[in-house]
Amino acid sequence: MTSGAEAVDAAIKIARKWAFFVKGIRDGSAHILTATACYHGVTLSTVSMASKKAEHFSTYLPNVGSTAPSGTVVRYGEIDDLRKAFTEDGPRIAAFMIEPIQGSAGIVVPPAGYIKEVAELCKEHNVLFIADEIQTGFGRTGTNLCHQHDGVKADLVVLGKALSGGLYPMSGVMGPSRVMDIISPFEIGTTMANNPPGCAAALAALDVLVDEKLADRADRLGKLLLERLRSYDLPYVVEFSGRGLFLAMVIEAKPPKVTGRRIAALLAQRGVLVSSNTAGTRIRICPPLTISEEDLMRGADVVAAVFAEIEDVGDIPGEAVEDGFVTSRT
Ligand SMILES: Cc1ncc(COP(=O)(O)O)c(C=O)c1O
């Protein structure tokens, strides 16, 4: 496929067909369970899976999302929620889809051992374990795929972004033939899917990932970056979160001057690209895995300078998101 959301959509289709033929769930009643605060894209199926839905898009896709059929809400990182959902509704649940570390939520790492327990519970209840590795895959967190940190294997893995070095639209779903063979090639695909330049870019990116040991690099550089950032004793930062080169600074925002967006905007002015979550409390740092150690440390120094100055700086272009159309009409 070409976008991450399309690949997630394909994973849902595979899981539903698997649920019908293998698990014997009646057509139209299989549920695809997700976790709160997840992000899997913005197509109709993927936005429907989010706990916080965007409005104005009419009816959503049924039988998907972080609320199980009997009403249990599955909070990210809370294994007891998942256990309860499976106990109540296991026979109706086709798959549990999860980001091994939640990216768009602000690089939220689940408690140690959580992903392993997820895999075990899925197995116990004959539910497919789908790892959405679109953001965490390809070495980003220090292993080729993030859920490998927990020594488990997902039944389906959804890939995108870095699959083609982030340069060419390319995404996909992979899994063992016992699951993948359920779908026919004609049930998934678009005109531009699996196009030759995209496949060539993906093969080249995979070679670089392996040849240049990018996962090890992310692990090593991530530790160095964290050490450097901690050494500044940055004001407003209450916690660091993440793994490898997938890190977040959790800040105690003090609006109007100290907000994630203002910090991100000032950093952008100075050549360091980070992003803030909508609440402005988590600032995500995801440098390229090929960044030089020197550039990484230089970037960290810029972060320290920005934190020191943020309260004294005036208006910064890009510090606020204008949502004019929606607000002016409501
Ligand atoms: C975990 C996750 N899943 C799915 C997507 C959607 O990918 P795309 O924007 O390519 O549709 C994203 C994008 O950020 C993502 O982070």
Q: Does 104 share its domain with 251?
A: no
| Residue length of the chain | 330
Number of domains making up the chain: 2
Q: Is 171 helix (H, G, I), strand (E, B) or coil?
A: coil
Question: How far, in whole angstroms, is CA 64 from its chain's centroid?
Answer: 17
Question: How far, in whole angstroms, is CA 45 from its chain's centroid?
Answer: 16
| Residue 134 located in a structural domain | yes
Q: What is the DSSP string of 81-92?
A: HHHHHHHHHGGG
Determine the Cα–Cα distance for residues 159 and 93; give it in Å rounded to an integer.
22
Ligand 1 proximity of 99 Cβ (cutoff 6 Å): yes
pLDDT digits 0-9 by tens, 198-207: 999 999 999 9
CATH number for the domain that contains residue 235? 3.90.1150.10
Ligand 1 proximity of 41 Cβ (cutoff 6 Å): yes
pLDDT digits 0-9 by tens, 76-86: 999 999 999 99
**For residue 323, what pLDDT is reported?**
56
Number of other CB atoms surrounding residue 105 within 10 Å: 22
Task: Identify whether 176 is preceded by a cis peptide bond (ω within 30 of 0).
Answer: no
- The answer to whether the beta carbons of residues 284 and 278 sit under 8 Å apart is no
The arithmetic mean of pLDDT across residues 263-279, rounded, is: 95
Tell which of 158, 182, 211 closes a domain.
211
Atom of ligand 1 minimally distant from the CA of 136: 1
Ligand 1 proximity of 159 Cβ (cutoff 6 Å): no
The arithmetic mean of pLDDT across residues 168-179, rounded, is: 96
pLDDT digits 0-9 by tens, 95-153: 999 999 999 999 999 999 999 999 999 999 999 999 999 999 999 999 999 999 999 99
List, in sequence order, the alpha helices (H) in the chain.
Answer: 4-18, 44-49, 79-89, 114-124, 177-180, 196-211, 214-231, 260-269, 293-309, 324-329
Query: What is the domain range of residue 83?
Result: 4-211
**For residue 298, what pLDDT is reported?**
98
Distance 4 CA to ligand 1 centre (A): 5
Atom of ligand 1 minimally distant from the CA of 43: 11
Q: Does 21 share its domain with 116?
A: yes
pLDDT digits 0-9 by tens, 277-300: 988 999 999 999 999 999 999 999
Distance 152 CA to ligand 1 centre (A): 22
The arithmetic mean of pLDDT across residues 186-212, rounded, is: 93
Write out the two tokens for 209: 């990932």
| Residue 115 located in a structural domain | yes
- The answer to whether the beta carbons of residues 124 and 162 sit under 8 Å apart is no
**For residue 328, what pLDDT is reported?**
36
Distance 313 CA to ligand 1 centre (A): 33
Q: Does 61 share its domain with 98?
A: yes
Residue among 135, 246, 286 to mutate when testing ligand 1 (max atoms within 8 A of CB): 135
| Residue 145 amino acid letter | L
Write out the two tokens for 203: 């093969």
**For residue 322, what pLDDT is reported?**
61
Say whether pLDDT at 301 is over 70. yes
| Residue 24 located in a structural domain | yes
Q: Does 258 share its domain with 295?
A: yes
The arithmetic mean of pLDDT across residues 261-271, rounded, is: 97
DSSP state of 254: B
Say whether pLDDT at 330 is over 60. no
**For residue 59, what pLDDT is reported?**
82
Distance 228 CA to ligand 1 centre (A): 29
Say whether pLDDT at 318 is over 90. no
Ligand 1 proximity of 8 Cβ (cutoff 6 Å): yes
Q: What are phi and psi of 165, to 5 degrees?
A: 65, 15
Determine the Cα–Cα distance for residues 89 and 24; give it in Å rounded to an integer.
14
pLDDT band at 237 (very low <50, low <70, confident <90, very high): very high
The arithmetic mean of pLDDT across residues 41-70, rounded, is: 91
pLDDT band at 55 (very low <50, low <70, confident <90, very high): confident
Distance 311 CA to ligand 1 centre (A): 33
Determine the Cα–Cα distance for residues 133 and 146; give it in Å rounded to an integer.
7
pLDDT band at 327 (very low <50, low <70, confident <90, very high): very low
- Ligand 1, atom 16: closest residue by C-alpha: 135
Distance 207 CA to ligand 1 centre (A): 23
Q: Does 195 share its domain with 288?
A: no
Determine the Cα–Cα distance for residues 77 and 73; give it in Å rounded to an integer.
12
Atom of ligand 1 minimally distant from the CA of 171: 10
Q: Does 198 share its domain with 247?
A: no
Tell which of 211, 244, 278 closes a domain.
211
Ligand 1 proximity of 137 Cβ (cutoff 6 Å): no
Q: What percent of the chain has pLDDT over 90?
A: 89
- The residues facing 128 across adjacent strands are 95
Q: Does 72 share its domain with 202?
A: yes
Higher pLDDT: 258 or 330? It is 258
Ligand 1 proximity of 2 Cβ (cutoff 6 Å): no
Ligand 1 proximity of 40 Cβ (cutoff 6 Å): yes
pLDDT band at 325 (very low <50, low <70, confident <90, very high): low
Cβ-based neighbours of 238, under 8 Å, separated by 6 or more:
250, 251, 252
Ligand 1 proximity of 136 Cβ (cutoff 6 Å): no
CATH number for the domain that contains residue 202? 3.40.640.10
Ligand 1 proximity of 106 Cβ (cutoff 6 Å): no
Q: At what angle do helices 214-231 and 196-211 cross, to 10 degrees?
A: 70
